Each structure stands twice: as C-alpha cells, then as structure tokens.
Amino acid sequence: MVELLHNLLFDYTLRTVALGAAVLGVSSGILGAFAVLRGQSLLGDALSHAALPGVALTFLWGGTKDPLFLAMGAAISGWLGILWIQSVTRYTRVKFDTALAIVLSVFFGGGMVVLTFIQRLPTASKAGLDQFLFGQAAGMIMSDVAVMATLGGAAVALVLILWKEFKLLCFDASFGRSIGLPMVRLDLLLTTLLVVAIVIGLKTVGVILMSALIVAPGAAARQWTDRLGVMVALSAGFAVVAGVIGAALSSTAARLPTGPMIVVCLSTIVLVSLFLAPRRGIAWRWLRAQHAGRRLRMERVFADLYELSRQHEDPMHAHDLATLHAMQAHPAGVLDNLRKLEEQGWAHEVEPQRWALTDRGLEHTHELERGNRVANLGKET
Amino acid sequence: MNDAALEIQDLTVAYRNTPVLWDIDLDVPFGTLAAIVGPNGAGKTTLIKAVQGLVRPAAGNILVFGKPYRAQRALVGYVPQRGSVDWDFPTNVLDVVLMGLYGRIGWFKRPGGQQRKRALAAIEQVGMLSCASRQISQLSGGQQQRVFLARALVQDAQLYLMDEPFQGVDATTEKAIVALLKHMKSDGKTVIAVHHDLQTVQAYFDWVTLLNVRKMAAGPVDEVFTPENLHQTYGGGVAGPGSQLAEIDDPGDRG
Amino acid sequence: MGAFQRDILLIAATVAAACALPGVFLVLRRMAMISDAISHAILFGIALAFLVVQSVHSPLLILGAALTGVLTVALSEWLRNTRLIKQDAAIGLAFPLLFSIGVILLNRYASNVHIDIDVVLLGELAFAPFNRLIIGGVNVAPLSLAVMGGILLLNVFFIGTFYKELKLSTFDPALAAALGFAPVALHYALMALVSITAVGAFDAVGAILVVALMIAPPATAYLLTDRLPRMILLSVGVGILSAVCGFYFALWLDASISGAMALAAGFFFLLAFLLAPDKGMLAALVRNARNRWAFAETMLAIHLLQHEGQPEEAAESRVDHLYKHFRWGERFARRVVVRAERHGVLQLSEGRLRLESRGRVLAQRQLGLTPADPKARDH
C-alpha cells in the first residue's frame, strides 16, 4: 500500500496513468451526471462502441497514434452514430432502444473489420486489440494526458459557463424554449460534450466499458445529495477516485486490464452508495421502516392501555396483562412493548402482571389528542 | 382588436399531417380569466404550445398584445403540465422558481441576491415560504403545482398560459390557486388555462373557449357555457368518446 | 465451395436464425438494449463455470452463462424497483460490472487456455468448424453447429408453443395479466431464451455480433411488414442473408467474419430505413410532400366553410388574406388555390374564394359534420 502510494507520486509511468485517469474521471463524471439525469445512460454505451471504427480508420489511414488525431476520428464516428439514431427514430417507427442497439453493434462490427486490417500491418507501432477494447493505461504518455486534459478542460469549462442553461435543459426543456432559450442547440451541444468525454476515456478504459464511466459516477452521486451542483462535483470525485485506484491496481500486477479494474472500483462505489447513502440508501430505508414498525407496535399497546384507562373512573387504574394481550392481534410482543413504555416513563407495572399509565403517560395522551386536532386543522386550511 | 391579449387567426396545427387543430380563430380579451375546455385529444395543450412556438403551426397567425410571440416573450408566463418534468431531479423549490428568471438574467450569468429576493417573494405568494429549500421530490402534487405557479409569477408577465393547473391538486391548493388567479386578474393580468373540470368552470373563470379540434364556441362564460354548446363540443361535431357525453348530459354537472 | 466454408456458412446461418427469433420480441417490447446487457454479462457466467469445470465445451458452461444473463435482468429490474435510479441507468450499471469481473477472471486464471478474451468478445467463426461433434467415433458435425442447431430448435419450439401468449403480452401486457397469462413468467422465460441463444452464439460469433444479429434483422423486418408472423419469417430471412453476405464480404476483404456480418446486417437495415415502402424515410418524405398539398387544400376548404355566411366572410375569403393570416408564401398559396380549383373544391373570382359543393363535403367530412348538421357558429 505504502509502496503503491510512493509509486503514484514518483514513478513516471504510474503517475502518468493516474493523472490520465483523474482527467478522465473529471470529464466523464461531470458529463455522465448530466447523461444520467437526462436518461441517456445507454446512449453513452452506444456512442462509445460507435467510436471504434473512427479510431481504427484514422489509425489505418493516418498511420499515426497521435492522440488528438485518433480522438477526432472517434468523435466523428460517435457523431455519425448520433445522427443515425436521430434520423432513424425521427423518420421511421423504429424505437430509440432498437436504434441504439443497431448503431452499437454495427459500428462496432465495422470497427472490428478495420482492426483486422490493422493487425496485418507490418509497422511496429500497431495497436493491439485489447488496447482499443479494454484500454491500456500503462501505455499512456504525457502527451496523451495533455490532449485529454485540453479536451476535458474545454468540455468542463463549457458546462460551467452554460450551467443554468443546461440545468433547465435537463429539468424542463419546454419551459426553456418558452422563454426563448435555444433548447435544441443546447441539447446537441451537451450530447456532443458527452461524445468528447467518451473519446477522452477510450485510451484508458476502452470502448466496451466506457459506458460504465458515464453511468456509474452519476448514479452513485445522486444517492448522496439533492443538489445538482453537489451531485456533479461528487460524480467527478467518485470517477477520479475509482479511476486512479483502478489504474494503479491494474499496473501493479500482470494481466489486470485497466478498464475492468476501474469498472469494478466504480461499481463498488455505486453499491456502497445504493446501500449506505443517508436518507435514500437501502439500508437506511430498511432501518427507518424497522424503527417505524417498532414505534407503531409500541404505540398500539400504549393506545390499548389508554383505551382501558378511559373506561375506568381512575385513569391510573392498573390493568391485567391478559386483557392487554387479548386486545392485540399478536400478543407475543406486548410485554416487551410495555417494558419499552416503562423506559419512556409512560407506563409502569403496579404489581406483577398488572400495568397502569403514569402521570407522564397521561400527559402524553393529552399531547397526542392535541396533535391530532392540530393535524386535522391543518388539513382544513 | 387592440383590447385583445391574445389574437389567433386561422391557426391549423398538424402532427405528421394529422390535424390537431383546424382553423382556429380566437380572441381572448385583456384582463380575463379564460378557460380552454374540451374532451381529451381536443388539442387544448397543443393550442397553448402553439402560442409559444413550442409546436410549429401548419398555418395561421398568432399575436400577443398585437405583436408576434417572439417579440413579446417577456410578457408571457408559462405553467406547463405538472407531469411533464422529472420531479426526482436534484434541485429545490427556490432553484426551480429562479428558473422563471433565466430569460431575464441572460446568458452565462448566475442568479444573484436581487433575483433570489424576487423568487422568495413569489414563493411566499403561493404560500410555500417554509418549503423554499425543500427538495422537489418531497413535495405533494399540490405543492409541485404551486412551485410551477411561483415560477410563472416570478416571470412578471402580462399574459399567463397554464396547462391544467388544477390537475391532481388537493382541495387546499385548489382554493389557493383560485384566489391567486383572482388576485392576478385584479392586477390586470390575463390568464388562459386549460381546464378539464366542467363543474368549476363557471366559478373559476369569466371567459371560456370550447375546443374540439376546431373552436366550437368562445366568449363570456355566461353566454357560451351552455348545454347546447357543451353537447356539441363533447358529443356532436368531431366525435368525442361516448363516456364524456354521459358525463356532461348530467344536469348536476353544470351546477 | 469446400466443406470448411460450407460448415462456416451453415454455422453462421444457424446462429443468425436462432438470434432473430427472440430478437423479434426484444424489438417489439422495446428491450433491444437488454441483448447488449445479456451478451456482455454472460461472460461472467462463462468465466465462473470455466473455473469450476476447466473445460470450454461443458454444457455447464452454457447453463451457468444463461443463468448469469437472467440474473443480470433480475438485478437491473431490482435496481430500478428501488427507485433509486432510472431503468436505463440500472441496465447500464449491472452488465459492465459482471463483464469486468469476467474479463479479469479470464485474464488472470485462464489466459493460457482455450478461452482468449478477444475470441470470446469477437468470436472466431473461422475456427468454429475445427471443434467437431463426435458420436461413437463418427465425425457428425461441427460442435457449434450442433449446439446452435439445438438452440434454434429450442427457440422455434418455445415461440411456436407460446406464440399466442407472447403476442398478447407484447402488445397488451395488462390484458395478458388479466387473462392469467403470467406475463412476468413469460418475460423471464424470454430472457432465459435470449441468454441461452447469446451463450451459444457467443462462442461462434462473439458478444457484439449477437446484438447485431438479434436486433438489426428484426428491426429491418419491422420496417417491411405489419404482421407478426411475417415479421418473424422476414427476420430469420434477413438474418441468414446478412450472415451469408457478411461471410463473402469478409472472405473478399480477408477480414473479421463476425464484424463483416454485423456490417451486412447494418447495411440491410440501412436499406430498409431509407427505402422501405410505406415505412422508410424516403416514403415518409414523399408522403409528407404529397400530403402537404392535400392538407393545405382541406385547410382552405375548412377555413371557407367556417366563415361561410358570416359577416367577416368577405375579408376572410380573399386570396391575399392567406398570406397574412395563414402565413403561407405567395407562391405556395397560389398553387394551392389552383389545385383546389382544379379539384372542384372552390372557385376563384375577382380575388375572392368561394366554396364549391365538393369542397363543402370535404370540409364537413373532415370536421365530422354530416351535411345535414347545422354548421358550427362561433357566437
């Protein structure tokens, strides 16, 4: 662990990889958060697959691995993918999901065909399949990171500049149009920025798993907050943490591809968020339901005791446990609940098997009645 | 014609060559509370959207206070259907209401203290001040509707277009909205609302348009909201579903 | 054609037919992306089963993998039901994780054996005929042909048996439930079928081509017919055609067979998208252009009818009124009027339009008025 940390700081390769993963995390985390909110999670999947033929063709024709050049190729084919999806859903009855699946698989198939040509190239710099498919962070150099940072920085800057416009686009686009904002163009811009974020990640994560980097950080971040700004920041943070850890782990051992490692880290964050996030989390909900159930059962016993005391001249009169048992559908927990009431100071065991309200308990019943009246009043006005 | 807040001439709207609205002529006078009433699929929402250029008409001319909508955008406030947005979106009441000011704030700038004050005032007007920082997914249907109304109020418009403002709200909110509408009218605003509850048209509005793909009738509620016109809108003419016919044939419906 | 090529073609055609069958229902149920999720996620099952049995050709592999596919669907549905995330995000979260674990497992523990990660993902049809099914010492057929043939039969049997139920639960799930057809059970049965098909095809053609063959041919057929039985047959036909064309294309280019087949499937979809009679883009554009005239004519007739006998009739029926209120261009308006006059809808005299009886009937029919009905009056 300490060694890994040391390497992160001082080992050139690892530092480059981690830096690249961090840059990628910021851009995909931020744009992914918007994509998740817009219900475009699967679009990210289709577009990342659609980028493959672009990368492969630029490499084949240009014969270069210049990252900016490859990125442009990827962006162009991703864009063509969007164009195809949009025109198919617009002019025919084929639905969005079908259009996505076709673009995803057909573009990827085209990429595969081109890759077989690349594999036959005699050049020493030929790119392995794995690198395009699963990413190979270890091969990253500083100029890659520079290109990624420039593209990502530009994309993130645009999001920040157009923050309120994009927020309105995601929440209520038709209201945005009614006040005169060009929502169609903003939509196109935000989708284009998503393509940029995907392109940035291809080198590190690869086309197949890039979609996870779009979906997962946003989905995890959403659980922790109800503010868009916080969500986007958290999303970027999660993606950076998962990216750096995943990339670092994959570089420590042989045959641990970077993309899958990052995805496993990200998914862990998602699972933790789904279960443990305060208020929304599954564990949290479960606990709350349990607590509410317990409280309800205790109050039912209390209500029974109060009911009995009202029927008696002396409200503090003690009643048989057996009577209380008889009043409940599930008598098993009655005694436990009475003990809890005793802890609260609302009831006490006057003599063995006989229970009565305390002064404080009686006071509480008055409070409850007042509360009921106020609640009813609230419904009226 | 100068006293009309909204003037529609020969408006026809079609989706993929299926007509939704046929040749609508409509003048809504300044300072009225106007209801648009008609069966499902009558084109009520489309009419409101067409006014704001949200759907492109096949033909027709729309004037807001005598000029095309584009030039008068700042004078029009919009309350879309509550169900048209994702209420699980991570934002709070104040933030949604501030969106009503985005058109004025301009590009790139963020809302400042001045805008916040205005938004809070609008939130107070709809009786939601205590919920200003509440997340929108925690609101009831009625509260959601009030938030949308506050967002429109903050637009400080002259003409308000509302799509089903009473849909699915509780009785308290309904009363509050009615009071708000009357208040807006007394301020000289014009409100045009899509409305589906025939029983309350006469109590809430003073002007009504009966719509069923074409305009069946329009005018002051007392004159136009008649059994014959309603029957024609829901039953005769462009055929509406029979169930609705039964609904309005019940005399109790018209109070 | 050599026996080797024939084997490859046979395998490819069988895979295409087997994939198209459940694919039809995925496309109709708007669950196309589930094929992507399942075909990726089964890698986890394959990897796990492989680690247990240490063989690539065990039936356990297919079973384990198919289970993973169903598990993925269940997992994403559970995620969605928590209402913590949307459905598309739920799918997008579940399969990358399972796929990643599968890749890591195979990379770490199986990279020196038969399962090569590229092959699993992309398939290697060219090698498929080498593994033979040998029964009693007799070389019967390529193993993958036997496996896919079995899966094809299973699909045919399933869809044949549950055709009525599948059809109903696809087009009207509520009614299907009300009639006691257990749409949920049918849904999971279909998911299991997709998973089994994906696992079988996976070995021969790889995960991504599975998606291409499951979705593109049914989508192509969807643009060619309105009838379900015809759509099923067409899907199978287009799938086989894609496989055959893709094979020869790959042969010609000396490139990845599965990639070329995906391209061929995409090409046929593109053709249907552009040219399909009635449902293609070109047909839609032509129809729109043609309808525009008829629509404008009707619009004009209705306009004249609405104002007939009204005080404003004189103003409303002027031709130059059309430019101002209809916002029609002058040329367009003139041509509409000329056409309408030719069709006997109206008559133009001294710059004013008068409705003819044919135009009146046209307008009344459009408005749902019978000619006997009193015309709508505005005030």
Residues C289 and C156 in one domain: no
At residue B2, does pLDDT exceed 70? no
Range of the structural domain that residue A131 is part of: 2-260
Strand partners, B6: B28, B64
For residues B63 and B2, the answer to whether their CB atoms sit within 8 Å is no
What is the DSSP secondary structure assignment for residue C125, as one 8-state letter?
G
Q: Mean of the pLDDT values across residues A59-79? A: 85
Residues A87 and A235 in one domain: yes
Instruction: Please report residues of A whose CB lies closer than 8 A to that of B100.
Output: 179
Give C201-242 pLDDT, tens digit per residue.
Answer: 877 778 888 999 999 999 999 999 999 999 999 999 999 999
Domains: count for chain A = 2
Residue type for A165, please?
Answer: E
Residues C291 and C273 in one domain: no
Domain boundary residue among C224, C251, C277?
C277
Give C55-108 pLDDT, tens digit per residue.
Answer: 666 777 778 888 889 988 998 888 888 888 888 888 888 889 999 998 888 888
Give the number of A-C residue pairs with CB atoms closer than 8 Å: 210
Residues A137 and A36 in one domain: yes
Domain boundary residue among A260, A275, A299?
A260
For residues B55 and B4, the answer to whether their CB atoms sit within 8 Å is no
Cα distances (Å, whole numbers) of residue A181 to A38, A165, A173, A286:
18, 8, 9, 43
Residues A69 and A198 in one domain: yes
Would you state the pLDDT for residue C112? 56
Domains: count for chain C = 2
- Closest CB from B76, B91, B155 relative to A228: B91
Give A84-133 pLDDT, tens digit per residue.
Answer: 999 999 899 999 999 999 999 999 999 988 888 887 776 645 455 567 77
Residues A227 and A297 in one domain: no
CB contact under 8 A, A113 and C215: no
Would you state the pLDDT for residue C38? 92
For residue B16, the chain C residue with the least C-alpha distance is C288
At residue C337, does pLDDT exceed 80? yes
Average pLDDT, rounded, for chain C: 84
CB contact under 8 A, C216 and A105: yes
Residues C355 and C259 in one domain: no
Name the packing angle between helices C87-109 and A210-224 (round to 10°). 130
3-state helix, strand, coil in chain C (%, to 5): 75, 5, 20
Residues A109 and A187 in one domain: yes
Residue B41 token pair? 């699929």
- Residues 6+ away with beta carbon under 8 Å from B39: B212, B233, B234, B240, B241, B244
Residues C261 and C310 in one domain: no
Domain boundary residue among C245, C277, C309?
C277
For residues C241 and C228, the answer to whether their CB atoms sit within 8 Å is no
Residues C95 and C172 in one domain: yes
CB contact under 8 A, A42 and C85: no
Would you state the pLDDT for residue C16? 95
At residue C117, does pLDDT exceed 80? no
Q: Has residue A270 been placed in a domain?
A: no
Residues C47 and C123 in one domain: yes
Would you state the pLDDT for residue C160? 93
Give C7-30 pLDDT, tens digit per residue.
Answer: 889 999 999 999 999 999 999 999
ipTM of the complex, rounded to two decimals: 0.87
Q: Has residue A266 been placed in a domain?
A: no
Q: The domain that contains C128 carries what CATH number?
A: 1.10.3470.10
Instruction: Please report residues of B whose CB lies closer than 8 A to that of A179.
Output: 73, 78, 100, 102-103, 155
Q: Mean of the pLDDT values across residues A62-75? A: 82
Q: The domain that contains A305 carries what CATH number?
A: 1.10.10.10
Residues A341 and A232 in one domain: no
Would you state the pLDDT for residue A129? 56
Q: Which pLDDT band holds residue B248 (cuts at 50, 70, 90)? A: very low
Q: Where are the alpha helices (DSSP H) in chain B?
A: 44-51, 69-72, 93-98, 102-105, 113-125, 141-154, 171-186, 201-204, 221-224, 227-234, 242-249
Q: Has residue A381 been placed in a domain?
A: no
Residues A225 and A333 in one domain: no
- Closest CB from B59, B215, B217 relative to C327: B59
Average pLDDT, rounded, for chain A: 85
Residues A254 and A293 in one domain: no
- Closest CB from A172, A174, A228 relative to B90: A228
Residues C105 and C247 in one domain: yes
CB contact under 8 A, C369 and B59: no
Per-range mean pLDDT, top range of A241-245, A293-297, C46-50, C340-344: A241-245
Domain boundary residue among C277, C300, C316?
C277
Q: Has residue A378 been placed in a domain?
A: no
Cα–Cα nearest to A142, from A13, A52, A247: A13
Give B64-113 pLDDT, tens digit per residue.
Answer: 998 888 888 889 999 999 888 999 999 999 999 999 999 888 888 888 88
Would you state the pLDDT for residue C97? 92
Give the number of B-C residue pairs with CB atoms closer than 8 Å: 66
Residues A198 and A327 in one domain: no
Range of the structural domain that residue C146 is part of: 3-277
CB contact under 8 A, C33 and A42: yes
- Closest CB from C288, C306, C378 relative to B218: C378
Residues C98 and C212 in one domain: yes
